[in-house]
Amino acid sequence: MKNLVLMLALGSLAACSTPKMIGNDKDSHGCKASAGQTWSELKQNCIQVFNEGTRLNPIDFQKDEAIISVFLVFNGDQSKAELFLSDKPNVILNKIQDGNFTAGKYVYNSSESTLYIDGKAVYKKE
């Protein structure tokens, strides 16, 4: 009987825990992932890329697979763009003379609204 009471007491104590607070998920910049925020190097602030950015969707995708978009956020004078990739660090693109934005293997053709990676059209604004 004593063992049963002890087991019940320990079981009830084990069930008690501090609940995790929702919305208490700030990153090192203070951005809340639960609110859809991510840090923008270009804006030097937490932003919601789906509200402030231009969505580019994959050109080639299978109908039964999830569509993973990338986003572009432009600075105030449109001289730079920040590319938000879901699985890679953000990339800052610089505007060049022809009006396109480029950084390394990434080129955003603003007149076509198309992102090229290594010379291949991969994402486009719909």
Residue 115: its H or E element: strand 114-117
For the stretch 26-83, pLDDT in tens is: 777 788 888 888 999 999 999 999 999 999 999 998 888 888 999 999 999 999 999 9
The contacts of residue 43 (CB under 8 Å, 6+ apart) are: 52, 73, 75, 82
Q: Please check the confidence at residue 119 and state whether its pLDDT lies above 80.
A: yes
pLDDT of residue 36: 87
**Nearest 5°: phi and psi at 102?**
-145, 150
pTM above 0.85, yes or no: no
For the stretch 20-39, pLDDT in tens is: 555 567 777 788 888 888 99
